Structure 1
């Protein structure tokens, strides 16, 4: 088949959850199909970034989205009913590029990543096979952030949450083939045609490691640290749980691993804190394979947590909150331990530090869970079935959601680059 894959950012390097998902989709699909990738990107690319995907794709088209253009999109987006993160990615140049690509090639299917790109294919429903990978429910993500926010940011999150919620409802009505990573997100969106297709793990890269050769009493948190829920999780753990563990384990170490840690996270690694903020590392699998326990104390977020899957793949026992386990759906006491309060979380970590047999049990069962349910080969096979079996039918178009929808009265949002990026989830996703 010939497939056109449309993304809101170039999926390399693999710093964010959506990039990881798209990259492995491309890698798997390219073995049997011809792929054309059409991406927006708000930062310049170098040849080293382009080369890996050029090997996987028949054609690669990258359309730059200048920061000034994105900022203007946000300003004008205040006066439309669409979510700001959809408006952020508006580009007439991208629209022209995609139209040219589609006119020149006969594609068996269009694969669209995230709701941010749907205005570009809104009017193609019924004319072209379209598979939309929502990845996770953005409204669920924003709802949890809104509930935790205070002051002006709560109002800003509430506005974007309501827009995204309404937009997702329109998407569910309009597009007949939708994919999502987690059953919880599927239930929230409620469409019977939404299929769960969870993330996978590269099992050759993230190989299982036993207890031998691991660093003593070392906890690890992994994830893109530009993602606000990851920042929130680490801050909660250090503030609420770490003080409960240190008196019992004075040599306990915490490693915070992931790209782009902000100043607030870097400041946690003060003298005598036993906390290291390592930023991006060349081989995440090696850091995980050396740790005693992987922690995932997520307080908000949606979708499936890649950090949990990757830790399980390496045999590293996991302590998570229920929020972090929603997408993975691991079994308490068999594949991971769950703690929702600071006391519960600290107790679970303490149990693992004390009990090598429990670490071995959870490590082996976690690896087995990943092998059974979270393989990229299975993920890609499900996509292929959707491409081949799709029967598109025209549906009624809710007004205001296409690229030329009618405007409504705007509301003023809090200014500031970091607040805007947090609100839009542009530094996400679930990794």
Structure 2
């Protein structure tokens, strides 16, 4: 099949959750299909990776977009967005030059399927011909914005996030209802989006792990060592680290004075750098090309994430290395794991600290949980299994026999119920959305 694949970023290097999923799927799918990749770049340095992606794709076209954050280009975009019904992230990605390239590819090649690898690229539906469109929802984007708004302390920015949440909720409903088919990364997200977008058609294609790369190494754990993995340019990761430092670490430090933790990830927060300067037990290591040896040394992998949505690949990777993971409900969301058997889910900061302390003091429990976690990953979350399922879905488009996973209505899951109540009673988005 000839597949036109739209990605919000060039998925290289594989240094984050979205990159990992997209790159692994493209590698395997390219063995059977011709991939025409349209992607976007915030920095000129990203154009260096075009040659890497040409190993797997027939064509690669990369387009520059405005950087996020406090810069003139993005601030002007955000100001213009005040008068638009479209979320700023979707408006940011919509470029006439990219739309023109999409049309050129469709005119010169017989495209069997368009794969949109992020909701924010949904505006490009106006550029497609008659090809069926498959959308991958890596997250429930409106829920992610809502959670971020709830934990943010800056009131003007909180108000801005609230406006973006309202726009995203309507945009998400419209796009998921108008594409041919959507894939989500978990049954949890299937319930949320299925109830929000009742006209949409969904299948679950979970996130995965390269089980040959992430595996239990022959390296003994360092006593009383924890590890965090995640670049802190992401606001969700930055919030998780600061939350750990302010509410969880003081309890652990008091109960286990010799405990220590490695923080792996680019752009450490100001709070982390300040705390590390005053406490030698906090080791700030920055970005590392290979995180596996240090993860293997740790007795406990922490994931104190409070905002965001979707399945966290960092958690799956740690489980693949047979590490005991202590996570919030948000960090464990969508993973088909049993609490207390495959990982530990904390209800609040005190519970989180108590779980970590227990595992540090009883490493044999951590080792058993790690073994069970690895077994779960091998059986459920291997990229080979996941790419195979996606390939079956691709073939179903060719045969026009698309499988649909049933959506469980009125789920008893409390997070789902809260989210559904938030969305109840809102009017649908108008048929046309203009960037």
TM-score band w.r.t. shorter chain: 0.7 to 0.9
Q: Is the 8 A contact 1:219 1:295 kept in 2?
A: yes
What residue is the counterpart of 1:96 in the other structure? 100
1:143 has 2:150 as partner: no
User: Mean Cα displacement is larger for which, 197-206 or 175-184?
Assistant: 175-184
- Find the partner of 2:307 among 270, 281, 300: 300
Q: Structure 1 residues 215 and 102, CA, compared in 2 at 3 Å: closer, same or farther?
A: same
User: Mean Cα displacement is larger for which, 35-44 or 13-22?
Assistant: 13-22
What residue is the counterpart of 2:285 in the other structure? 278
Q: Is the 8 A contact 2:47 2:62 kept in 1?
A: no
| Aligned equivalents of 1:96, 1:122: Cα separation in 2 | 11
Q: Structure 1 residues 48 and 215, CA, compared in 2 at 3 Å: closer, same or farther?
A: farther
Q: Structure 1 residues 170 and 17, CA, compared in 2 at 3 Å: closer, same or farther?
A: same
Partner of 1:270: helix, strand, or coil?
A: helix
What residue is the counterpart of 1:15 in the other structure? 15
1:341 has 2:348 as partner: yes
| Aligned equivalents of 1:72, 1:295: Cα separation in 2 | 38
- Find the partner of 1:229 among 213, 233, 236: 236
| Aligned equivalents of 1:152, 1:171: Cα separation in 2 | 28
What residue is the counterpart of 1:219 in the other structure? 226
| Aligned equivalents of 2:211, 2:149: Cα separation in 1 | 36
Q: Is the 8 A contact 1:315 1:367 kept in 2?
A: yes
1:256 has 2:263 as partner: yes
Partner of 2:43: helix, strand, or coil?
A: coil
1:227-246 per-position Cα deviation (integer Å, ceiling 9, x unaligned): 11111111111111111111
| Aligned equivalents of 1:69, 1:344: Cα separation in 2 | 43
- Shift of the alpha carbon at 1:123? 5.8
Q: Is the 8 A contact 2:183 2:202 kept in 1?
A: yes
Give TM-score scaled by structure 2 length. Answer: 0.86
What residue is the counterpart of 1:383 in the other structure? 390
Give TM-score scaled by structure 1 length. Answer: 0.87
- Shift of the alpha carbon at 1:327? 1.6
Q: Structure 1 residues 122 and 399, CA, compared in 2 at 3 Å: closer, same or farther?
A: farther
Q: Is the 8 A contact 2:81 2:88 kept in 1?
A: yes
Q: Is the 8 A contact 2:232 2:238 kept in 1?
A: yes
Q: Structure 1 residues 57 and 258, CA, compared in 2 at 3 Å: closer, same or farther?
A: same
Structure 2 segments unaligned to the other structure (5+ residues):
403-427
What residue is the counterpart of 2:249 in the other structure? 242
| Aligned equivalents of 1:389, 1:16: Cα separation in 2 | 30
What residue is the counterpart of 2:133 in the other structure? 130
- Shift of the alpha carbon at 1:149? 2.6
What residue is the counterpart of 1:420 in the other structure? none
User: Mean Cα displacement is larger for which, 65-74 or 49-58?
Assistant: 65-74
1:245-266 per-position Cα deviation (integer Å, ceiling 9, x unaligned): 1133222111111122233333
What residue is the counterpart of 1:65 in the other structure? 65
Q: Is the 8 A contact 1:308 1:318 kept in 2?
A: yes
Partner of 1:179: helix, strand, or coil?
A: strand
- Shift of the alpha carbon at 1:66? 5.1
Q: Is the 8 A contact 1:233 1:297 kept in 2?
A: yes
1:204 has 2:195 as partner: no
Q: Structure 1 residues 339 and 148, CA, compared in 2 at 3 Å: closer, same or farther?
A: same
- Shift of the alpha carbon at 1:71? 5.0
What residue is the counterpart of 1:30 in the other structure? 30
| Aligned equivalents of 2:373, 2:144: Cα separation in 1 | 25
Q: Structure 1 residues 165 and 244, CA, compared in 2 at 3 Å: closer, same or farther?
A: same
- Find the partner of 1:161 among 159, 165, 184: 165
| Aligned equivalents of 1:79, 1:48: Cα separation in 2 | 36
- Shift of the alpha carbon at 1:296? 0.7
1:196-232 per-position Cα deviation (integer Å, ceiling 9, x unaligned): 211111111111236x522221101111211111111
Partner of 1:61: helix, strand, or coil?
A: strand
Q: Is the 8 A contact 1:266 1:277 kept in 2?
A: yes
Q: Is the 8 A contact 2:66 2:92 kept in 1?
A: no
Partner of 2:100: helix, strand, or coil?
A: helix
| Aligned equivalents of 1:21, 1:71: Cα separation in 2 | 30
